[in-house]
Amino acid sequence: MPSLPQKPVDTEAAPTGAVIDARDLVKRFEGMTAVSEMSLRLGAGEMVGLIGPNGAGKTTLFNLIAGSLTPTSGAIFIAGRDVSQESPEQRIGRGVGRTFQIPRPFLEMTVLENVLSGAQAQDGENLFANFFRPAHVRSQEKAAIDKARTLLEFVTISGLEHQPARVLSGGQRKLLELARILMADPQAILLDEPAAGVNPALLETIMERVLALNAQGKSILLIEHNMDMVSRLCSRVVAMALGRPLAEGTPAEVAGNPDVIEAYLGAMA
């Protein structure tokens, strides 16, 4: 009998203790540098705020970490492994989930189907195609549906599971997106402005759910302009402007930092 292939020794894993370790990232688009020598670490169980005026490069940094953009230079490590060359799907498989600044659900699919679309197979492949296949995947399918329902309860929109996603409000779409990424059991979660355009009642729900996820041990990187939310959720805040890190510290320290204040005033002018 042939022996099972041996798993190669993992020589790339350098134990830094960080779930996400972005090192010296640079991202140039034609004619402009969106991210420039930006480094950021997210420790296990940490919740870190990422602030900065519009255009600072925050979303671009998320795109580099999640793999939807390739850095011009620099590297991204997930749990000590260099993933700079890996696809977004592979990085989801390694435990990084991200939400988008503007959620883009499948509008004509139901809320439940949208959550199911976040399911990942072991090899990082999306499981969703399986839901249109016959019986041999039924048990997998049932487990996934149960999980999706539990997640919809967790994000408090289970009553809407059979509705098409297009009927959801902006805030409900953010909750739906959160449930979708939780299908893949992320260890680290990148949230891009989860409070933007959300009504106050739903905002409270979103904050509670994010806190609950962090209490379960998930590491969270939070882009947010709502400083009240950042102060309540994050022990550490990183401010960036013009693609670079500007300040780092407690929420109060960073909010009171003259360079940070100037960057926000400069961006408004």
The whole-angstrom separation of Cα 204 and Cα 158 is 17
Per rule CB under 5 A, is residue 214 in the interface with Mg ion? no
Give the x/- contact pattern for Mg ion in 82-121, rule: CB under 5 A.
Answer: -------------------x--------------------
The whole-angstrom separation of Cα 111 and Cα 161 is 5
In contact, 210 and 222? CB cutoff 8 Å: yes
Place of tokens 């487990």: 143
Give the x/- contact pattern for Mg ion in 41-70, rule: CB under 5 A.
Answer: -----------------xx-----------
Q: What does 29 interact with, of ligand ADP, Mg ion, none (CB < 5 to 8 A by kind)?
A: ligand ADP
Q: What does 60 interact with, of ligand ADP, Mg ion, none (CB < 5 to 8 A by kind)?
A: ligand ADP
The whole-angstrom separation of Cα 247 and Cα 256 is 10
Q: What does 80 interact with, of Mg ion, ligand ADP, none (CB < 5 to 8 A by kind)?
A: none
In whole angstroms, the minimum distance from the beta carbon of 56 to ligand ADP comes to 4
In whole angstroms, the minimum distance from the beta carbon of 55 to ligand ADP comes to 4
Q: Which amino acid is at 119?
A: A
Q: How far is CA 189 from CA 67, 100, 244, in A?
A: 14, 11, 22
C-beta nearest to Mg ion: residue? 59
Question: Considering beta carbons, is residue 54 or 70 the nearer one to ligand ADP?
Answer: 54
In whole angstroms, the minimum distance from the beta carbon of 89 to ligand ADP comes to 20
What is the DSSP pairing of strand 188-192 with strand 219-223?
Answer: parallel
Question: CA end-to-end span of the chain, whole Å?
Answer: 72
Q: What does 40 interact with, of Mg ion, ligand ADP, none (CB < 5 to 8 A by kind)?
A: none
In whole angstroms, the minimum distance from the beta carbon of 130 to ligand ADP comes to 32
Question: Considering beta carbons, is residue 183 or 246 the nearer one to ligand ADP?
Answer: 246
In contact, 254 and 265? CB cutoff 8 Å: no
Q: What does 18 interact with, of Mg ion, ligand ADP, none (CB < 5 to 8 A by kind)?
A: none
Question: Considering beta carbons, is residue 77 or 100 the nearer one to ligand ADP?
Answer: 100
Q: Which amino acid is at 112?
A: L
In whole angstroms, the minimum distance from the beta carbon of 191 to ligand ADP comes to 13
Beta strands in the chain (DSSP E): 18-29, 32-43, 47-51, 73-78, 81-82, 96-98, 188-192, 219-223, 236-241, 244-249
Q: Which amino acid is at 126?
A: N
In contact, 27 and 33? CB cutoff 8 Å: yes
Structure token digits, residue 220: 């969270």
Question: Considering beta carbons, is residue 34 or 188 the nearer one to ligand ADP?
Answer: 34
Chain positions contacting ligand ADP, by CB under 6 A: 29, 34, 52, 54-60
Question: Considering beta carbons, is residue 151 or 220 the nearer one to Mg ion?
Answer: 220
Site residues (CB under 5 A) for Mg ion? 58-59, 101
